[in-house]
Amino acid sequence: MAVSRRNMLKLAATGSLVGLGGIGINSLLSDKNELEINRLQQPVLKKNPAAKKQSPNILVIMTDDLGFGDLGCYGSKAINTPNIDKLASAGMKFTDFYSSNAVCSPARYGLLTGRYPHRGGLQFPLWAENQPLGRRLARSAAQFLGNLGLTDVGEDSISDGMAPGELTIAEALRQVGYRTGLMGKWHLGDFAHLPRYHPHKHGFDEFYGLPYSNSMKPLPLYRGEDKIQDDVPDDEQSKLTRKISDEAIKFIKKSDENPYFLMLSYTAPHRPLFASDEFRYKSKGGLYGDVVEEIDFYVGKVLDAVDKSNKADDTLILFTSDNGAWYYGSNGGLRGGKGQSFEGGFRVPLIANWPGHIQAGSICQEPAINLDIFPTLLSLVGLDIPTDRIIDGKNILGLLTGAEAGSPHDALFFYHNDILEGIRVGKYKYYRKINLYKFPAPVNKTMAGLAAGKLGKWPLLYDLERDPYENYDLSDNQPELVAKMEAIMSFWEKQMTANPEGIMNRM
């Protein structure tokens, strides 16, 4: 088994972890591997004199584990989402939009930095630093076996949070006078124990929310850097969607002459599922549907606040999910789900709304990815992207406004943990090999179908234009295309191995 420098460090740290009785793995790793990105200073971004500088308010709404098929505007017949559907009908809906990863922390890193999560050492969801001893022991043992290649449970991130040397959208927009806020889930470092990962340290002026997923315990609630609740009990989790939305509304109401960037990051519908009494047993989609309908209701309240601020026409709104659905929910018939490189794990909704700039009722069928949000927003406000680091995302402002017709991407890359598994070029998607997580019961039908052994052989090649559900493997019919895809992947891997963190002008 070939072992890279990063994998060697992880293997050594994980082996030590088993012997030491479950000391937090991320704390061990942070001492073992200082990321090269931290050697960079926060860049002062150059203003592009040729750009048409605009300063709209920017609202990014991200759900947690919402599937591609869970919204009415994306085909759901079981869940009613009138407010989100209205947002789509008044703006643009993307049909081929991807997350940068199929799990929580890496996907959020990708959106905020415009860089593939592998560059930041974030290949796997981050764990709370003070997980119970039993869970830490079980996790460390599983990781040890995974690092040896004996299980497919996946490897932990080599970093314990988003490196201080990274540049986020919030930090960039602050350079041109934006007020910034994050309400909801963070999951880019357990700042309760590692303060350097607090959102305040990454460009956000205001914060209300949680350090990680609602499944982790204890689950503290913060306002700024002050802990206002040590542990949100299960019977109060049903209030989180309302509380997070209320804080977003307060932020919007404080609008002044300065524009704002607000990231509204819901904890739902990540499991465990909780719906308030007002929404419980109301949907046709069970408890999961109740939770999504409650999200839609409060998204409506947030959109009302935007309207009442008299700045609705000067507000760009983006709605998306961090990855595909997991145990519950619908990925719209797409193959696979959260944690997998198949379409159901990576393809997510994206709705873009900006009156007067994005045509109402428009649909974009071009491939794009959440990495694109970073350079697009910088371009929008007249900033050039930084030159000291590689930015993997592309500016898709032309797609949003209709000024451009084609995707700016030559290829999109799909990672399972730190292993490159797939690539999309044009309408084709190619998989070298898929590593499946072993999901415990209950599993949804998509997962059960995969576990039943439909895969057969490697590699796999699909025409997503004719076969979006990845049913018909074309690899035997098109060997030249398979060779081309493999060559592109191999070239990308060589570049990543040589400069994994994407530092420009390395000495």
Q: What is the mean pLDDT of residues 250-255?
A: 92
Instruction: For residue 104, indicate whether it is catalytic.
Output: yes
Q: Which residues contact 50 (CB under 8 A, 6 or more apart)?
A: none
59, 85, 151, 273, 485 from 285: Cα distances, Å = 28, 17, 34, 13, 39
Q: What is the mean pLDDT of residues 332-359?
A: 97
Alpha helices of 254-336 — where are they, by DSSP H? 286-308
C-alpha to C-alpha distance for 463 and 192, rounded to whole angstroms: 46
Per-residue pLDDT, 156: 72
Least confident stretch, 11-20, 132-141, 379-388: 11-20
Cis peptide before 218 (omega within 30 of 0): yes
Per-residue pLDDT, 34: 75
Domains of the chain: 46-409 (3.40.720.10), 416-498 (3.30.1120.10)
**For the segment 31-87, what is each residue's pLDDT rounded down to a tens digit?**
435 799 998 988 999 998 877 778 999 999 999 999 999 999 999 999 999 999 999
Residue length of the chain: 507
Burial readout 91-129 (b: 16 or more C-beta within 10 A, e: otherwise): bbbbebbbbbbbbbbbbbbbbbbbbbbbbbbbbbbbbbb
Q: Specify whether the CB–CB gap between 347 and 367 falls below 8 A.
A: no
Active-site residue identified among 118, 187, 198, 409: 187
Q: What is the mean pLDDT of residues 242-248?
A: 98
